[in-house]
Amino acid sequence: MTKDNLVFGLGGIIVGIILGALIVNFSTRPAVPQFPSQAPPMAQQNQASPQAQGELPEGHPPLNAEALQQQIAEKQEVLKKDPNNQGAIVDIANMNFDLKNYDEASKWYSKALDRDPKNINLITDLGSCYLWLKQPDKAIEYYNRSLQMDPNHFQTLMNLGIARMSMGNRAGAAEAWEKIVSLYPDNPETPMLKDAVKKLRENPKGTM
């Protein structure tokens, strides 16, 4: 599975679940995922949602773990013959992320980033691994690095807001998402982001 910046991991699901939970139930409780659930940050509060239990979003092709493991093995064979094959390295990182092997994925993203240090998508992807590994402070370091290169990078701004929310920084999350609302008014996710920002601004300290 190829992807530019883990839209599936921390993008499409985020607006459908996280913001819904955020709008319905504001909480000061830290919003780090409860493993082994694959629910994105904030989503674990909505236990009624099947997606919050780690399932794929409606309409998404089913995840075939066995097939992904086979593809990883094939890519590793490619690397035995061509250790510098960047495409194979990134593919292994992406597939490990899809399998929720976030620690392993982070190692492969790091390896890919060593070879392409200015790749914004790789920087953001690595940050997302740390977010799932419940290290939001480290995730934010990578998101900030990405934004230094492109202050308007959509997915980085989205994920930065999530990381800040997971640390209880509601104002910081609102700031990141407000920028998306301003820069991408026609994006289909913008209306829900706008509503979430409004809720955060109205209730900056949160309620139980």
The distance of Cα 55 from the centroid of its chain, to the nearest Å, equals: 15
State the pTM of this model.
0.73
Please give the pLDDT value at position 17: 41
Mean pLDDT, residues 168-174 taken together:
94
pLDDT band at 207 (very low <50, low <70, confident <90, very high): low
Contacts of 125 (CB under 8 A, 6+ apart): 5, 6, 93, 94, 97, 105, 109
pLDDT band at 133 (very low <50, low <70, confident <90, very high): very high
Q: Quick: pLDDT tens for 42-58.
A: 333 333 333 333 444 44
Residue 39 has pLDDT above 70, yes or no: no
Please give the pLDDT value at position 61: 53
Please give the pLDDT value at position 206: 73
Q: Does domain 7-202 have CATH number 1.25.40.10?
A: yes
- Tell me how far apart the alpha carbons of residues 149 and 184 are, in angstroms, rounded to a whole number: 18
Phi (first) and psi of residue 163, to 5 degrees: -60, -40
Residue 3 has pLDDT above 90, yes or no: no
